[in-house]
Amino acid sequence: MGKHLVLVGGGHAHMVTLANLHHFIEKGHRVTVIGPSAYHYYSGMGPGMLGKTYAPEDIRFATQYGVEKQGGVFILGKVVRVDPEGKTVILESGDAVSYDVISFNTGSYVPRSMVKDGEKDVVSVKPIEKLMDAQRRILEQVPRKQITVSIIGGGPSAAEIAGNVWRLTRDHGPNRPKIQIFAGKKFLSQVPDTMRSKAALSLKKRGIEILEKDYVKAIKTGQITLESGQRHDTDFIFLAIGVKPSPIFKESDLPTGPDGGLLVNKYLQCTAYPEIFGGGDCIYFKDRPLDKVGVYAVRQNPVLYQNLMASLEETGLQPFDPGGDYLLIFNMGDGTGILRKKRLVFGGRLGFFIKDYIDRKFIRKFQAIEQT
- Residue 263 counted as domain residue: yes
231 shares a domain with 280: no
Lowest mean pLDDT, pick from 80-84, 130-134, 294-298? 294-298
Q: What is the chain's Cα-based Rg?
A: 21
253 shares a domain with 235: no
Distances (CA, A) of 243 to 126, 154, 197, 234, 329: 9, 12, 24, 23, 19
Domain with 212 in it: 122-242
98 shares a domain with 139: no
Which residue, 219, 366, 218, is CA-closest to 301? 366
310 shares a domain with 223: no
pLDDT tier for residue 267 given thresholds of 50, 70 and 90: very high
247 shares a domain with 228: no
104 shares a domain with 91: yes
Overall domain count for the chain: 2
Q: How far is CA 291 from the centre of its chain?
A: 12
Q: What is the mean pLDDT of the chain?
A: 93
- Residue 158 counted as domain residue: yes
- Residue 94 counted as domain residue: yes
252 shares a domain with 204: no
21 shares a domain with 104: yes
214 shares a domain with 126: yes
92 shares a domain with 14: yes
- Residue 50 counted as domain residue: no
Average pLDDT rounded to a whole number, residues 235-253: 90
CATH number for the domain spanning 184: value is 3.50.50.60
Supply the pLDDT for residue 53.
Answer: 97
198 shares a domain with 153: yes
pLDDT tier for residue 12 given thresholds of 50, 70 and 90: confident
pTM: 0.92
- Residue 153 counted as domain residue: yes
Which residue, 308, 161, 172, is CA-closest to 237? 161
252 shares a domain with 299: yes
- Residue 117 counted as domain residue: no
